[in-house]
Structure 1
Amino acid sequence: MLGLTRQDFAIRASAFDLTQPWNLLRLIAGAFMLPHVAGKFVAGGLSPGVVGFFTKAGFQPAEAWVVLAALVEAGTGLALILGLCTRFAALGAAGALAVAVYALYAIKGFAWLWNLGGFEYPVFWALVCVAIAMNGFRERAAAA
C-alpha cells in the first residue's frame, strides 16, 4: 500500500541514522525550508517586502498567500526533519517550491541564476524533494 499508514506518523530512530544518505538528504531538505518561513515575518508581523512580492506575482490577497506559504513551508520542513509522512511532505515541499518558481517567473521572466533573482535554487530543491518522495515510494513498495 502506497497511501498513508500509522507508520507514516511515527517518529523512528532509524530516520535519524546519519549513515543513511537518504536520511541525511531528507534532514537537509527539511532544514532548508525553515529559513524561508522566518523570512516571511519581520517585527512580529508579515514582511512588507514579501507581501509586496506576492502582490506583484499576482497572489491575492497577498497576506493570506504569505501565511499559507509559511504554513506549508513550516509543515513540510518539520515533517521532513522528523521523518513524518516523508513521501507526501517531500511532494508538498516540491509543490511549494514550484509555486515559488512560478512567482519568480511571473515577476522576472526567465532568469536562471539565483544570485541574480532567478529560480535555480528553488528548482534544485524541488528536484531534491521529488527524489526524496520517489525514494520513499520505492521503499514503501519494496516493503509491501
Structure 2
Amino acid sequence: MNTVWYLKRQAEKATIFLAAKENGDASASKGAEMHIDLVEWLRLLCGIWFLPHLIGKGLHYEKAAGTFENAGFRPAKLFVGITMVMEAAAAIGLVFSIYPRMAAAVGAVVMLGAAYAVVKINGPNWRWQKMGPEYPIFWALICLLLAIV
C-alpha cells in the first residue's frame, strides 16, 4: 500500500468530517466519507477485473497473439507480453493501492487499446452484443476517472 496516498486519504476524510461537524451537518460528513469509500471500492474492483484478462492471455497465449495479429499489433506475441505486463501493473497497483493513479492510467491505455482492437476486427459497432467497443471504452473511462480522483 502506498503509505503517503493512504495518509493523504485519511487526512481528507478527517478534514471533510471536521468541516461538516463544525457546520452541524452530520449527514454531509457521512455522505463525504461514503463517497471516498466508494472510490476506494471502485479502485479495488477495477484492479480485480484485470485478473481474468491477464490469466486468459497467459493460458491462451497463442490465441491471444492471433487476435493481436488480426488487430494489426505486430509483432503480436510481443504486444501480448507487453499488454500482460501492463495489465499486471494495473491490477497490482489498483488492488494494493501502489501508485493507484498511475496504475489506473496504465489500465486505461490497455482498455483503449482493446477498444481499438475490437473496432479494427469487428467494425464500428457500438454495443457489446455486436462485438463493439462499448465495454472496453466504459472500463477505460472508469480507469481514467480513477487516475484523476
Task: Tell me which of 25, 33, 44 is aligned to 1:27.
Answer: 44
Higher relative contact order (CA 8 A, sep 6+): 1
Give the length in aligned residue pairs.
124
Measure the CA separation in 2 of the matches of 1:47 and 1:113. Answer: 26
Specify the alignment match of 2:103 in structure 1. Answer: 89
CA, structure 1 residues 113+124, in 2 after alignment: closer, same or farther (shift >3 Å)?
Answer: same
Unpaired segments of 5 or more residues in structure 1?
A: 136-144
The structure whose residues are more often helix, as a share, is 2
How far off is 1:115 after superposition? 3.1
Q: TM-score, normalised by structure 2?
A: 0.74
Q: Give the 5 Å matches for 1:36-55.
A: 36-42=53-59, 46-55=60-69
Specify the alignment match of 1:7 in structure 2. Answer: 4
Deviates more, 1:52-61 or 1:109-118: 109-118
CA, structure 1 residues 112+133, in 2 after alignment: closer, same or farther (shift >3 Å)?
Answer: same
Identity percentage of aligned residues: 34
Specify the alignment match of 2:15 in structure 1. Answer: none
The answer (yes or no) to whether the contact 2:61–2:80 under 8 Å persists in 1 is: no
Specify the alignment match of 2:126 in structure 1. Answer: 112
Unpaired segments of 5 or more residues in structure 2?
A: 11-33
- Structure label with greater radius of gyration: 2
Q: What amino acid does structure 1 have at the position aligned with 2:4?
A: Q
The answer (yes or no) to whether the contact 1:33–1:73 under 8 Å persists in 2 is: yes
